[in-house]
Amino acid sequence: MKLKLILSILFVATCFVALGQEKSPEKGLIKISIMYPYSEGKTFNMEYYETKHMPMVASFLGANLVKYTIEKGLSSGIPNQPLPYLAIGTFYVKSLSEYQAAVAPQRDAFRADFKNYTDVTPVILVSEVVK
Amino acid sequence: MKLKLILSILFVATCFVALGQEKSPEKGLIKISIMYPYSEGKTFNMEYYETKHMPMVASFLGANLVKYTIEKGLSSGIPNQPLPYLAIGTFYVKSLSEYQAAVAPQRDAFRADFKNYTDVTPVILVSEVVK
Q: How confident is the model at residue B4 (pLDDT cuts 50, 70, 90)?
A: confident
Q: How confident is the model at residue A4 (pLDDT cuts 50, 70, 90)?
A: confident
Candidate from A75, A78, A130 with C-beta closest to B71: A130
Question: So what's the pLDDT on residue A6?
Answer: 62
In this structure, the strands spanning A30-37 and A123-129 are antiparallel
The gap from C-alpha A14 to its chain's centroid, in whole angstroms, comes to 27
Gyration radius (Cα) of chain B, Å: 20
Candidate from A6, A17, A46 with C-beta closest to B14: A17
For B6-65, how does the pLDDT look when each residue is reduced to its tens digit (9 = 90+)?
666 666 666 555 554 455 789 999 999 999 999 999 999 999 999 999 999 999 999 999
Of chain A, the end-to-end C-alpha distance in Å amounts to: 42
Residue A7 maps to a domain: no
Nearest-Cα residue of chain B relative to residue A107? B78
Residue A62 maps to a domain: yes
CATH number at residue A109: 3.30.70.100
CB contact under 8 A, B74 and A34: no
Q: Can you give the residue range of the structural domain that contains B53?
A: 24-128
CA distance to partner chain B, nearest, from residue A79 (Å): 10
For B94-114, how does the pLDDT look when each residue is reduced to its tens digit (9 = 90+)?
999 999 999 999 999 999 999
CA distance to partner chain A, nearest, from residue B32 (Å): 7
Cβ atoms of A92 and B71 within 8 Å: the answer is: no
Residues ≥6 apart with Cβ < 8 Å to A113 = A52, A53, A56
- Complex ipTM, two decimals? 0.84
CB contacts, 8 Å: A125 with chain B = 73, 76-77, 83-85, 88
Candidate from B71, B84, B130 with C-beta closest to A70: B130
Question: So what's the pLDDT on residue A95?
Answer: 98
Cβ atoms of A130 and B72 within 8 Å: the answer is: yes
What's the CA gap between B9 and B114, in Å, rounded?
A: 50
Residue A110 maps to a domain: yes
Candidate from B74, B78, B125 with C-beta closest to A127: B74
Residue A12 maps to a domain: no
DSSP string computed for chain B: -HHHHHHHHHHHHHHHHHHHHHS-TTTT-EEEEEEEE--TT--B-HHHIIIIIHHHHHTTSGGGEEEEEEEEEEEESSTT---SEEEEEEEEES-HHHHHHHHGGGHHHHHHHHTTTBSPPPEEEEEEE--
CB contact under 8 A, A18 and B21: yes
For A63-108, how does the pLDDT look when each residue is reduced to its tens digit (9 = 90+)?
999 999 999 999 999 999 999 999 999 999 999 999 999 999 999 9
- CA A18-A68-B57 angle, to 5 degrees, is 65
For A22-47, how does the pLDDT look when each residue is reduced to its tens digit (9 = 90+)?
557 899 999 999 999 999 999 999 99
Mean pLDDT of chain A: 91
Question: So what's the pLDDT on residue A7?
Answer: 63
- What's the domain count of chain A? 1
Residue B42 maps to a domain: yes
Mean pLDDT computed over B114-120: 98
Residue A45 maps to a domain: yes
Residue B1 maps to a domain: no
Coil vs helix vs strand at A110: helix
What's the CA gap between B124 and B111, in Å, rounded?
A: 13
Residue B116 maps to a domain: yes
- CA A88-B108-B85 angle, to 5 degrees, is 30
CB contact under 8 A, A50 and B130: yes
For B49-94, how does the pLDDT look when each residue is reduced to its tens digit (9 = 90+)?
999 999 999 999 999 999 999 999 999 999 999 999 999 999 999 9
CB contact under 8 A, B21 and A21: yes
